[in-house]
Structure 1
């Protein structure tokens, strides 16, 4: 096989979603096809430095566990921006501990392609994409226009309405308007014009950060929701004075956590404070004489968006492309369960949220969902992959919102579950993202000869990869959640290997062994797996499989959609190795 293509995996960044990006960077590094690509981890810190980091640092719990330091800083876990102004020597020492700094001018010398898994402002909005275009590096996902649209929620709403004809009430107002408003009157006016309850959103955030639902006719709750989405918080003297030092520190730690706090630096009475300890001292001083003080994020939103609250079945659906650019909508995932809203915690930190594929509705409604998705994808400048969320209302209306041009990419992310329904593993999905992105960069009319040569080289490598036999490993798991999780992990490990090919096999309690289709290895747990194996293939998914068959063939070769019973002799004839998930041992036959 030809020399591997060097892929810079960009993760981290300056946005509030940097920890989700960190998880995605680990996924890409672990699951990228090692026969085709050489992964180069590029950590982008929250000051915008590009750092080629030591790969073992991808296995920390959080960015703050390794950068700027493993040690607490004045008793707090902080991001580098909380250290304030750093001179070149200080910065060099911090970076040197984790890797080496890379300048954008160095990109062409160290990588052939940029796999950008960075979310939010200054990452997903076209900023990094424009930088990469300047230096002639093809990158993952949509181009500049699709990226710009994908970060602007009010603009998305307007364009989706024009494209699909959907009607969804929404308004925006600025921080200045909020500061001088008669809030009681504004609350009443919103209820009369938008309806109740309603949703407050920060217009440039993702991962459901900066989203609040106002469910009570309470001016206090309304004010709190708007302030949350402006990323500001008010401290009251009466409450602050009752807190112990430990409670104050805990509150500062929560403010540092970007999934629940406003982050640092912050502004207090015109003063910029970078560190939680400095804010504690400032609050002690200010609240000694004042009844209250408002703390505002240095990266606060300038305006917020109010949307009507939609009652219906919530779904999320990825859209990809065939080689020729024709869009294919994947099976939509329904999100359900006892949740108030599909927010950051329910997405990433909760077991309450449940998911099913496809949405539990009629075939006619599923076609309606796809029709709206494809119109939106094809018109708003999206390409390669975009995950679009929406609702199906009780009267069968489809209301779309929040296109995500760089979906979250942990192994359990919705986009990988949906790609698995057309037969692709995480590894094969990543290969698709890279290959199709190169094809889309050619359409931009820049560096076309160079990118065509890269595309031809990769296409040849993919064809050889799919058609070259590998040593097959039966990943055998029993009917326990622990073994199923182990099997999922080993499936990912062997899928990215140049040598091995995994074959998932369930050793059932009845003594039989069954070869399992790849899509059934993406369930939330063994209970979901057990429920899925007894169900026939949904007719809507059968339709999608037919539409996506060229994609499946190119990246996976084939897709066995049915579970198959295996005898011991048949298993021995099929594989060369067995990995036993109960004992976590590899046996050569």
Structure 2
């Protein structure tokens, strides 16, 4: 049996660099070595690409960093060496459509959503605009640019205070892993939170506070979609921030969540609608708030490249649904190949111009 060559692209110029290394290590250790030959491809914090020798199981993340056998002068050289790529660069320059566009230009199949779905899914503001168009329930929000904030802080603060009571959530529009997010309980904290978010992105979004339980569901597929069980996050912190996700062991994940079946069923329907609305493919995790008193669901955001270690929410949701971590990787690689084959069916019309 001829093995398929799989590239794992990890690292990247992102605040989530270290998270990406964990994900890459987990996938390399879980992938079926009898079917796939794995090629680690490391992108460092300066944006340089390195391709290592094929690897089997590894003991630690540091071994990935050491496996920088040769600098890639051009990522397009991967075309003749790889059958499919699993990109696990989280955040900007990884899950925002930029890497997907590069791989598509190089005609290399890749796991996950395409250029548009990745870009819109990453941008919290544009995703909410699409959700609004498709009638998906969500909280109120206001967005503005870093330049607008510098030019007219007082007006923006006044507008926000007219729209929302405190507390408010302040976020960079294009970042994951809860980097740069703050919960502002006063005007002083609001101003500080906006300055903090503006360090990470040129666009800031401020959202109304929704008092509800944080529940999440996974979606898997291209055209035919399946959903996972529902999980719930109970954070020991004021909200589910970066430390709560990666450093604080007191945060609890309840899988499956203890919620009524009709809520889980509605989440599955809304998650598939969000997936289709954003033109996603492969995988995504859809996060909701459930207001238990009002029995109302609000979509919070999607994550087109969710954390993907064996103890991350997305794989655990599907494991509880009966799909193991290794089986999930296998399915995603096949979905990537199916999506690439569909793209290749597009015809190119050559238009001849008169001399």
Instruction: Tell me the TM-score normalized by structure 1.
Output: 0.55
**Which of the residues 193, 211, 215 maps onto 1:225?**
193
How is 1:313-332 mapped onto 2 (pairs within 5 angstroms)?
Answer: 313-321=213-221, 325-332=223-230
Query: Quick one: distance in 1 between partners of 2:153 and 2:280?
Result: 40
RMSD (Å), alpha carbons: 2.3
Distance in 2, matches of 1:66 and 1:38, equals: 19
CA displacement at 1:416 relative to structure 2: 1.1
Q: SS of the residue aligned with 1:330?
A: strand
Match among 304, 307, 329 for residue 405 of structure 1: 304
Match of 1:310 in 2: 210
Report what 2:287 is aligned to.
389
Q: Which residue among 55, 75, 86 is the counterpart of 1:115?
A: 86
Structure number, greater radius of gyration: 1
* 1:39 equivalent in alignment to 2:32: no
SS in 2 for 1:331: strand
Distance in 2, matches of 1:162 and 1:397, equals 19
Counterpart position of 2:323 = 424
Q: 1:400 to 1:180 in 2, by over 3 A?
A: same
Alpha-carbon separation, structure 2, partners of 1:384 and 1:22: 21
Question: Contact 1:140–1:437 at 8 Å: present in 2 too?
Answer: yes
- Structure 1's 201 and 182: CA in aligned 2 closer, same or farther, altered over 3 A? closer
Structure 2 counterpart SS, 1:385: strand
Query: Following the alignment from structure 1 to structure 2, what is the Cα–Cα distance between the partners of residues 444 and 203?
Result: 29
**1:34 alignment partner, SS class:** coil
Q: Hey, what's the Cα distance between the residues in 2 that align with 1:201 and 1:112?
A: 37
- SS of 2:229's equivalent in the other structure is coil
Give 1:61 deviation, angstroms: 5.5
CA-to-partner distance for each residue in 1:372-412, whole Å, 9 max, x for gaps? 11111122101111111110113121111221111111120
Higher relative contact order (CA 8 A, sep 6+): 2
**What is the number of residues matched between the two proteins?**
344
- Counterparts of 1:348-497 in structure 2, within 5 Å, are 348-394=246-292, 395-445=294-344
Give 1:347's match in structure 2, choosing from 245, 250, 266.
245
The whole-number CA distance in structure 1 between the counterparts of 2:40 and 2:252 is 32
Instruction: Give unpaired runs (5+ residues) of structure 1.
Output: 68-96, 232-299, 449-589
After TM superposition, the runs of 4+ consecutive aligned structure 1 residues lying more than 4 A away are: 54-63
- Contact 2:287/2:302 (CA < 8 Å) preserved in 1? yes
Cα 1:316/1:104, change in 2 over 3 Å: same
Alignment partner of 1:47: what SS? coil
Gaps of at least 5 residues in structure 2 are 348-355
Q: Structure 2 matches for 1:475-554, cutoff 5 A?
A: none
Check conservation: 2:149, 2:156, Cα contact below 8 A: no
Distance 1:109 1:118, change over 3 A: same
Separation in structure 1 between the aligned mates of residue 183 and residue 115 of structure 2, nearest angstrom = 31
What displacement does 1:166 show?
1.5
Q: What SS does structure 2 have at the residue aligned with 1:41?
A: strand
More helix per residue: 1
SS at match of 2:285: strand
